[in-house]
Each structure stands twice: as structure tokens, then as C-alpha cells.
Amino acid sequence: MQNIRAEVRLGTRDLRGDLPFFTKELGMRLERIFPADNPRVAVVSGHGLRLRLDQGVGAPGTIAILANDPVLIAGGARELVSPGGTRVEIGELDPPVVMPPTAHAFVVRRLADQAPWVIGRAGMQYRDLIPSRLGGAVIASHIRIPDGGPVPDMVHFHKVGFQLIFCYKGWVDVVYEDQGPPIRLTAGDCFIQPPEIRHRVLLASDGIEVIEIGVPAEHITEIEHEMTLPTPHVRPEREWQGQRFVHNVAAGAKWFPFRLKGFEARDTTIAANTKGVANVQVVRKGKGSPEFTRHDADILFGFVMNGKMTLEGEGQPPHVLSAGDAFVTPPGMRTCWSDPSEDVEILEVALPGSFATMAA
């Protein structure tokens, strides 16, 4: 059997000075050193890393050491430079999800504006629905897979505060930790992926399109190499950081008066299952005439799935929105969803899940 070992080679300007730095200050172990009479190369290992320090190669590099309690490394220092020039960054192995303050803004993003589709993870195509991301508070993506079939995905999870997957067109099969066999998400249905639930996208129809909302905008996706899905146990009541997995099915849903006059909505149970982190509703034309209102939600996002309406906002020209268009209305702004077509259907996502709407 062939033995294989990988090393990272870094240049050093002072090998003699580096040896006590790496072994004593960073707690690594010396493995090799040569030549004996005038050492130019030393190999050290530790913290899951094997380094070859070499005076005969180019400039020094940078290494990162991450730990659950980084204060225990190098006396609590976060940045060091070795005598030979290697930069060492020491940080948290599993930092908490940081929710940046929302940079409130009125946003309209039209499909007709032909924003670029970007190739993202697993070959999926992404269209950014909130280019400013409200200062990093949220990301909203229109995702599509033009050619259906098996998806080259791996078991993974996301370090997020909230994540919605809403199927806009087609269908997709996904398998989730502790939720049984693969689940088919069809148009009008949605998933809530609780923080760090393991999952894998398996199969998609031709022309599948989904809307994905994530908080915060920048979050880490980690590959899970140890877990195989599906898992042997089905635990629908399990919580991840206080949130439950949700598979909401559109078929047979009940409709009720919406918060805005002239519309009705169906609930997705997401407010209850996230304990108020977010609320997701599908809205259509109802009885009565639309009126101007204000709201106090931190983030209020809308996506027109079908039909048309006009979004009016104080200080803004009227925006006629149609299928594929997205918008954000900031708290306190006077707005109205006017002239809805008979077939209009809108996805609304609010954070937090409970907020007030006032006549304006």
C-alpha cells in the first residue's frame, strides 16, 4: 500500500527564529529538519496542518488556526508574524451567525431588466433579487436549473438565521435529515430549512425555478462528509436552533383576508414553526379596493409569481409589476398595491413574523 502525505510549503527568511515560534508559541511539533550542518528546511505539524518551512523558496505565506476557544492559543493573540515572515491568523472555529443591521431601502427588481444569471453551487443559475442585500441583512435569489435530471449536489448545511425555499415552477426532490425519504417540492409549495439541517438536492424537473430567501446575506455552506441521507429516524418535531422543518403544500390550503384590503392570503405555517422569526404568505386578489398603508416590519419582500399589479410608494413613480418581478418596501413608507389583475399572485416574506400594518 502506497503512503501519501501532503504538506504546505512556505518560504521563510529566518528558519532558526521560526522553530521556537512554531513549536513553543503555536504548540506545533518538529517533524524533520535538514541538512543537519546548516538547516534550510524544517517540517512542523499540529492543529491538523503539516508545514514545510523552506529558506530556499519564495515569500512567506499566511496560515489560519481556528479553535473553539482561540484564547488558549498563543496567549490569546489573534494575529502574529513569525520571525521568518509567516502571517498567522487565529480565530473561532464555529463563529456565531452575525445579523447585520438592515439598511432599509425601497427596491424594485424587474425580470425584464435582464439582470445576469450567475452559475452558482451545483451548477444552478442564480438571479439576485435584492442587489443591495439591504446592507447584508438578507439575500433573495431566483434560482433555476434549465435542464432537469439528477443534481450534482452533496449532503450539506447552511449556517443561517432563516432560509426559505419556495418552488415557483416545476418540481424538485430533496432529502432532509430526520424527515424520512426524499420529498418532492412542487410549484406553490415551500420548505423552511432550519439552521444547519443536513440536506441534499437529488433530482429536478426541466425548467425548475425556486425563490430562496436567506438571512443574513452572507452565510457559510458546509459539506457534511459523515452523514448519509436519508437518516434512519423520522423526527418531525425536532428543532434546530428553535426552528422546525416545514414542508408546506399549496393544494387544499385555506384562504383568509390578507393584511392589505383588496387581497386574501394562504398561510404557510412558517411563522409558527420558526417561533416568529419570519412569516411567509401567498397572496391573491380578494374583495375590496386597495388602500395606502405603512408597516413596521424590518424586512418586507415581495415576488410577483403571476399576473400584474402596480406598486405605488411615496416619493416614487408607480411601478407596474408582473411575473418575475421583486420588490422591498421599507418600514414607515406609505405604499399601495393597486390595480391587481384577477390572476395576480404574490409571495410575501416578512421578518420578523409578527409586525403591524397601519392605514396611511
Taking CA atoms, 2 is separated from 5, 191, 210, in Å, by 10, 46, 46
Residue 102 counted as domain residue = no
Q: 87, 66, 93, 73: which is closest to 26 by C-alpha?
A: 73
- Interatomic CA distance for residues 166 and 178, integer angstroms: 21
Domain boundary among 199, 214, 248: 248
Q: Does residue 284 lie within any of the structural domains?
A: yes
Domain co-membership, 123 together with 241: yes
- 22 and 124 together in one domain: no
- Confirm whether 285 is domain-assigned: yes
Residues of the chain where predicted confidence (pLDDT) is lower than 70: 1, 121-123
Chosen domain end from 248, 280, 314: 248
Indicate whether 205 and 275 sit together in one domain.
no
**Do 122 and 240 fall into the same domain?**
yes
Pick from 234, 235, 238, 245: which is nearest to 269 by CA? 245
Q: State the pTM of this model.
A: 0.88
Is 1 contained in some domain? no
Domain count, the chain: 3
With respect to residue 105, please indicate whether it lies within any of the assigned structural domains.
no
**Whether residue 123 sits in one domain with residue 144:** yes
Q: Are residues 145 and 188 in the same domain?
A: yes
- The answer to whether residues 201 and 244 belong to one domain is yes
Residue 97, in any domain of the structure: no
Domain shared by 87 and 160, yes or no: no
Same domain, 135 and 242: yes
Confidence (pLDDT) at 121:
66
| Continuous segment of H or E residues that includes residue 303 | strand 299-306
CATH code, domain carrying 39: 3.10.180.10
Question: In the chain, what is the greatest distance between 2 CA atoms, to the nearest angstrom?
Answer: 92
Q: Indicate whether 60 and 118 sit together in one domain.
A: no
Scored b (16 or more CB within 10 A) or e, 305-344 reads: bebbbebbbeeeeeeebeebbbbbbbeebbbbbbebeeeb
At CA 327, angle to CA 140 and CA 277, rounded to 5?
55
Residue 244's CB: how many other CB atoms inside 10 A?
19
CATH number, domain at 309? 2.60.120.10
Q: Are residues 118 and 243 in the same domain?
A: yes
Q: Is there a domain that residue 106 lies in?
A: no
Whole-number Å distance between alpha carbons of 129 and 138: 10
Give pLDDT, residue 56: 83
Angle at 104 between CA 98 and CA 105, to 5 degrees: 135
Asked, as a colleague might, if the bond just before 181 is cis with ω within 30 of 0, I would say: no
Amino acid at position 245, single letter: F
Q: Residue 274 domain-assigned?
A: yes
Whether 272 and 155 map to the same domain: the answer is no
Q: What is residue 295's predicted lDDT score, i.e. its pLDDT? A: 98
**267 lies in which domain range?**
256-359
| 185, 218, 248 - which closes a domain | 248
